[in-house]
Structure 1
């Protein structure tokens, strides 16, 4: 009798197992129409996106090409499957069906390269892990809030010397930031976002969860995050990039934790790329799911296992500065950073308090392949944010806020790129290193623990005054080796400077002066004197470009 009961139990269990809906990604083998798209990039990318690629010397390739629709149609025609999403970058379709249907329908199709199940035990290359994950995903946005009586963002901006960037006119102007998050309720009505609305700084958005153009919905987490970058209340609250433009994308369905959210994030990043976005902020992270069979292990935090991290790496390689929160797992069982914060090219941000001490909740690195993560830190404890319900300034905790604080300043620093590109065109051989790599290196090197990174601090807290100087120093003097003797004296300058170290006659030289935003404020061909009067210029940072024939040198100067 016991054998009969056991057999019955086995048959019922097997039957239930075979009917369970599984998530899987179908990776397609090719894109037959690639050539026609690559030769006509406006079919798939905006002009701004194309310009960004050209400026950063990033080629347009097959990953930019849309998926081959006949392949997608063939998948859609299979009975019993549901298409949940897809990624052109990874050439993958996210489906849901029983394992039996997936195995029987797609194992032998010639255009299917491979199938990856969210349940890694079904995959031939699944990595085994003995780590047990304990995490309640429903607490991921449960940040403690209290009334913020004095109403100031001073601490979170000045800790990073963000005020120095703003004083130089670098306030995010001309930059486009995509905020990928869980929702943006009341952004279209709250006073703190009126400046964005009045100046048409919200360019659009999309709700990928509901497949809806109404992106002012969902969880309030995205509203809080956006406020730290673009919020503004006169004399009370200023985001880190108040003059930036924004796209708002909802990909996170807060009440649940499912693999589809990874796919939706990649879809949003692809949309951001096609629109020419400069910076992406994501205050999201993935390790465990409602179905524990889909959980990741720490070994998977290697930057190349999770679907979202693979997508984030491609986004960065397309020229987008991707900034991501490290996660709030530092004092939990998981402890470590979350995906996509493990991706090599993502700027991963941890949290400190007002005294620059690490916040206990800030996730630890390194990645499982032993890379420094998080790289940098910003204020994440008692951060000033805008309450989505009543527009009040409140205090909140989480790397969810250290990340956008940092993303805004990254965008401000990146606003200096327009100036740098003026000089890069003179010697294209010097442009083989993506300017974004210069920028990230400049920020990391400015951090207070750069020489001795640790698992939770990473490189530490950056100083954006130092970072700006590092960035300019590493990129502006692209031809310095040809005119090494040229100097500007004195520097800083009050009214007049001298061009020192000239070889030959001064009239053989050409002088141009640019402000911090790259606007030309002075030019003199065939210079008549070593002395240049700039008494009429306002105080600030300028760049003197000294040229002779096809050679030039650029020197940063300060006008007092």
Structure 2
């Protein structure tokens, strides 16, 4: 009798060549990824090392087994095969334990911490109907106070965001995204991507949905006088992990693969508008008890992503009006930002999923507009859509601006700033969580008064710490900066270049300062009022 085919995760005992990798971290992490860890005092560990190739090969060569995905963080492979063939993998000396996605099947060995279950992406909210002038995006941007950051030149310029979604068709043709494809990183750029569902580097292929295109638009699109996203000059990686036509446990594993890729590239922020609790085959379904921050494979991956120093932003889900009205994985993960949805008047929309997590942590961490929200579609048209799928990325753009303004903060400190600047922070509820984000009070102030002409740099000032930072305006310029007090005391001297484009002066007292700069053979003096 032919056995049903099952999804399962196979965990390995170790990584026998880990030390060889750890001796050469650039063999598996980019310099940017290493720098992000160094900045936040995060160690590079065996968890970061790739899965042992020979272990994966031994599983691939086993009878009746197909390897669908690999996770270095969880030291596991996602396999597909009959229950018997999967169970036989326990005979491999490298295998530690096996977890079936079907909860009715027994765990084989239990030394690995528990895994399991997912809820639908809600396939996918609703589709589109057919300083900036934000146009139709004004309300959803100014609700958060993001325009205050844009007015000081902070538009996500130094931040990298990975969007993990379902399809990005039209991004490479719609003019609203053209600034991301001009090979000029100073005004934002798409740095790369991958379609993990179809195993292709062509991540612009039509996958049956343009959901990811619309998600990206809320952060990055620019249509003059019609629409501007919340971090239009950020840099992006676009990853497809969601199979629009099917809902299977494999999508969890593909998401973790994409998150690992994002980490290794040095990404700062991961945005996901996906959520799992129900599958096409109900034997894989999760329960609310599984939304405990430690059960589902995707949630465990999201936990690790946050531990690596990235800010993970995930939509809460659109099940608020359904029998299942709870959040979905990985919104239940620890130390991420789960985002619910309000309308233009900041009233909660009924479809926004409820918290708390099953272990009683407040969810969502914040709210943004997701009811009657404006997006740009693959045809370059601005239209209205609905869903936490869009409130999430709107928040991701705000996070990018916030972290750019406070580059010395850790990812967890940025997350805490988001929570504490959400309007219901002192009085959270199950559906609103900590409330609507407003970061206007955190915006740096531009105090530069120009005596002559527009300089090739800009200055941001932190009202909290008293620091000022002078930043190169265009990446290919070179400017020598000297800073003096009103009494003529010398404070700083630095040449700003593409690779060293910022000058930080800490704890500067209020007063008048002078900036002398040399640029293209000419010298200018400017006055800074702080």
Range of TM-score over shorter length: 0.7 to 0.9
| Structure 1 residues 306-455: aligned runs within 5 Å | 306-388=296-378, 390-418=379-407, 420=408, 435-455=410-430
1:122 is matched with 105
Given candidates 455, 465, 483, the residue that maps to 1:523 is 483
Paired residues of 1:138 and 1:254 also in contact (CA < 8 A): no
Root-mean-square deviation (CA, aligned residues, Å) is 3.0
The alignment status of 1:182 with 2:166, answered yes or no, reads yes
Paired residues of 1:64 and 1:89 also in contact (CA < 8 A): yes
**TM-fit CA distance, 1:413:** 1.0
Paired residues of 1:543 and 1:555 also in contact (CA < 8 A): no
**TM-fit CA distance, 1:544:** 5.8
* Mapped partners of 1:555, 1:160: distance in 2: 29
Structure having the higher Rg = 1
- What TM-score, normalized to structure 2? 0.82
* Mapped partners of 1:556, 1:85: distance in 2: 56
**TM-fit CA distance, 1:514:** 2.7
DSSP-derived class of the 1:195 partner: helix
DSSP-derived class of the 2:217 partner: helix
* Mapped partners of 1:216, 1:144: distance in 2: 18
1:224 is matched with 214
1:106 is matched with 89
The alignment status of 1:58 with 2:42, answered yes or no, reads yes
1:276 is matched with 266
Given candidates 202, 205, 224, the residue that maps to 2:190 is 202
* Structure 1: 5+ residue stretches without partners: 1-14, 127-132, 421-433, 473-490, 496-511, 533-541, 546-552
Paired residues of 1:160 and 1:378 also in contact (CA < 8 A): yes
DSSP-derived class of the 2:56 partner: helix
Paired residues of 1:442 and 1:467 also in contact (CA < 8 A): no
2:112 is matched with none
2:433 is matched with 458
For the structure 1 residues 125 and 450, does the alpha-carbon distance in structure 2 shift closer, same or farther, using more than 3 Å as the test? farther
**TM-fit CA distance, 1:417:** 3.9
**TM-fit CA distance, 1:174:** 1.4
* Mapped partners of 2:470, 2:398: distance in 1: 15
**TM-fit CA distance, 1:101:** 1.3
**TM-fit CA distance, 1:555:** 5.8
* Mapped partners of 1:192, 1:124: distance in 2: 49
**TM-fit CA distance, 1:447:** 1.2
* Mapped partners of 2:118, 2:154: distance in 1: 43
Given candidates 141, 147, 152, the residue that maps to 2:124 is 141
* Mapped partners of 1:295, 1:556: distance in 2: 59
For the structure 1 residues 516 and 398, does the alpha-carbon distance in structure 2 shift closer, same or farther, using more than 3 Å as the test? farther
For the structure 1 residues 43 and 394, does the alpha-carbon distance in structure 2 shift closer, same or farther, using more than 3 Å as the test? same
* Mapped partners of 2:25, 2:122: distance in 1: 43
For the structure 1 residues 379 and 253, does the alpha-carbon distance in structure 2 shift closer, same or farther, using more than 3 Å as the test? same
DSSP-derived class of the 2:149 partner: helix
* Mapped partners of 2:261, 2:118: distance in 1: 33
* Mapped partners of 2:510, 2:168: distance in 1: 41
For the structure 1 residues 330 and 82, does the alpha-carbon distance in structure 2 shift closer, same or farther, using more than 3 Å as the test? same
* Mapped partners of 1:109, 1:56: distance in 2: 39
For the structure 1 residues 97 and 194, does the alpha-carbon distance in structure 2 shift closer, same or farther, using more than 3 Å as the test? same
* Structure 2: 5+ residue stretches without partners: 110-116, 451-465, 474-479, 492-502, 512-527
